[in-house]
Amino acid sequence: MWKAALLASGLTLAPIGAMAQSAGDGTGCGSEVEVQPGDTLSTIASRCDVTEGLILRANPRIDGSADLRVGQTVSLTGPMDRLKSFASEAGRQLGDTASEVGSSVRSSIEGFLADNPDISDNIRNLGQSITDLTTGDGNAEVSLQPQSGEPGSTVTVTASGLPADQPAVIAGGTPGTAFSVLEETRTGQDGTLRAAIIIPDDLPQDAGSYQISVRAEDGSWKAAAPRFSFSTP
C-alpha cells in the first residue's frame, strides 16, 4: 500500500547499489591520487576535498610537502585508517566475548597483519630506518658546487654520512613542493655519494631557488643540500 502511495506521489526508490555508489568514499579523488608537478599537501587536500592531516595519517613516510614525489601515488585511506577501523572492531569483540579476549584479539591481530602486509612492512621499515640512521655518523651532509647559476647548469652533488651501500635517489624541486627524481644511484660502502646533476631549465621564473636532496628509494631517510640560487631574465 505504501508502494502505491509513493508511486502516486511521483517518487521512486533508487537502487541500493546506486545509493552506495553515489555516496563514494568521501573524497573527490577516490582512495588515492597521483602527485603532480608543483603539488603541495595543501593543493592535494583542496583538489581531493580532504584535510592535510588525513594525507599525513594515510602516508606515514610523508612529513611535509617536500616529501611528495612527482608521479607518486598518495593514499587517501591508508593503513592507519584501516588500523583504526580494526581497533574499533576489536573493541566490539572484546565487549561481546570477554572470556575469549586473549585468543580472539591475538588471532585477530595476526589475521589483520596477514591481510595487510603494508602495515607489517611499515613496522619492519621503521625499525630498519632507525638502524640505518644510527649506524651512520649521524651528521649527513650534502653540498653543491656551484651553489648558484642559471637553470640548465650542471652542479656536482657531494654527500657524506649517509647509510652505507643503500639504493638512493637524487631529487630536486622548488622548495616546499613535490620533488622529481633526477638520478637513481647508490651510496658507497663508506656512506658517501658524488654525482653531476643538471638543474632543470624550465623552473618557475619567480621561484628564485631550487632544492636538491639525497633520499632513500623507499623514503626512509633523506638529507638536503643548501638551496641552489638562480635568476631568470
Per residue in 197-219, pLDDT (tens digit) is 999 999 988 889 999 999 998 88
Q: What is the pLDDT of residue 133?
A: 46
The pLDDT tens digits of the residues spanning 214-223 come to 999 888 899 9
Domains of the chain plus CATH, in order, are 13-75 (3.10.350.10), 141-230 (2.60.40.230)
**pLDDT over 70 (residue 127):** no
The pLDDT tens digits of the residues spanning 34-65 come to 999 999 999 999 999 999 999 999 999 899 99
The model carries a pTM of: 0.64
Do 209 and 187 form a contact (C-beta atoms < 8 A)?
A: no
DSSP one-letter code for 30: T
Q: Phi and psi (nearest 5°) for 63?
A: -100, -20
Can you tell me whether residue 227 is helix, strand or coil?
Answer: coil
Q: Work out the average pLDDT over 139-149.
A: 94
Upper half-sphere CA count for residue 41 (Cβ side, 13 Å): 16
Residues 6 or more apart from 25 whose CB is under 8 A from it? 31, 76, 77
Which cell numbers in the block locate residue 85? Answer: 577501523
Q: What is the pLDDT of residue 27?
A: 59
**pLDDT over 60 (residue 73):** yes
- Please spell the DSSP secondary structure of 121-145, one letter per residue: HHHHHHHHHHHHHHHS-S--EEEEE
pLDDT range class, residue 231, cuts 50, 70, 90: confident
pLDDT range class, residue 95, cuts 50, 70, 90: low
Q: What is the pLDDT of residue 187?
A: 96
Cβ contacts of 102-108, under 8 Å, gap ≥ 24: none
Q: CB-based burial of residue 174 (10 Å sphere; 0-12 exposed, 13-18 middle, 19+ buried)?
A: buried
Tracing cell 652542479 back to the chain, one arrives at: 155
**pLDDT over 50 (residue 20):** no
